[in-house]
């Protein structure tokens, strides 16, 4: 198990394959992604690499973090992320990771934070059908109805599907295919949709379910 990459979602487009079928492409940008720290089994209880992406302004870095980066002689980073790895896949601190970390037609898992939608009703949030449009229903057409007010159970269970905050949650989409990479521009092209808004950070690593085309 090797490390993944910290990338930024910069946009989407579409392409056509040999059969003339149109498919969606998401572009991910790698910006100064470097190894900035190690987590070891002996010291921390697990093996991991700490990656940093995009050089940060010194005015936006705390005094304690400035010292952390100074100790490893690396410019302060805007985003940090840990990736669990196996013993044989440690990389030296300061090593830069680029788009060729992944290969064409390789499957990856992509993690990001979905776009926040604010407060949403049950029909939009959970695809409820709502109440009747007639037969005495008044001003409650889009409500979710009863939530457990009978004698049994007589309470609303936790995690019941109701109206509430929608989006802004951590989501991982598995088994997305890498359709191309551009090392010079630092781009990774992923087939399909990737969670997150344009400009948000997403984390890409080798698929845990599909290993086809994986370059070890």
End-to-end CA distance of the chain: 9
Instruction: Tell me whether the omega of the peptide bond preceding residue 153 falls within 30 degrees of 0, making it cis.
Output: yes
Would you list the domain boundaries of the chain? 5-115+170-206, 117-166
CA 100 to the chain's CA centroid? 20
pLDDT of residue 60: 87
Helices vs. strands in the chain: H and E counts, helices first: 3, 11
Q: For the domain 5-115+170-206, what is the CATH code?
A: 3.30.160.810
Read off the pLDDT of residues 66-109 as tens digits, 9 standing for 90 and up.
Answer: 898 888 888 888 899 999 998 888 898 888 899 989 998 899 99
Threshold 0.85, pTM exceeds:
no
For the cut 60, the answer to whether the pLDDT of residue 7 exceeds it is: yes
Per-residue pLDDT reduced to its tens digit, 116-170 = 999 999 999 999 999 998 888 888 899 998 888 778 878 899 999 999 999 999 9
CA distance 195 to 205: 14
Residues 209, 86, 189: CA angle, nearest 5 degrees: 50
């Amino acid at each position: 198990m090797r490390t993944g990459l910290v990338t930024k979602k910069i946009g989407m487009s579409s392409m056509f394959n040999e059969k003339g079928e149109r498919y969606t492409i998401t572009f991910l940008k790698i910006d100064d992604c470097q190894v900035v720290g190690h987590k070891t089994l002996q010291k921390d209880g697990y093996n991991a690499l700490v990656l940093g992406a995009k050089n940060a302004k010194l005015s936006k870095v705390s005094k304690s973090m400035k010292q952390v980066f100074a100790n490893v002689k690396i410019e302060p980073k805007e985003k940090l992320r840990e990736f669990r790895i196996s013993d044989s896949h440690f990389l030296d601190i300061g090593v830069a990771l680029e788009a060729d970390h992944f290969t064409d037609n390789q499957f990856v898992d992509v993690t990001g934070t979905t776009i926040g939608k604010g407060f949403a009703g049950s029909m939009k949030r959970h695809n409820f059908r709502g109440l009747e449009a007639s037969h005495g229903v008044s001003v409650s057409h889009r409500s979710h109805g009863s939530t457990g007010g009978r004698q049994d159970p007589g309470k609303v269970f936790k995690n019941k599907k109701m109206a509430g905050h929608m989006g802004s949650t951590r989501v991982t989409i598995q088994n997305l295919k890498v359709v191309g990479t551009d090392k010079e521009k630092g781009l990774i092209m992923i087939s399909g949709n990737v969670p997150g808004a344009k400009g948000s950070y997403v984390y890409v690593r080798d698929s845990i379910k599909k290993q086809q085309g994986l370059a070890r």
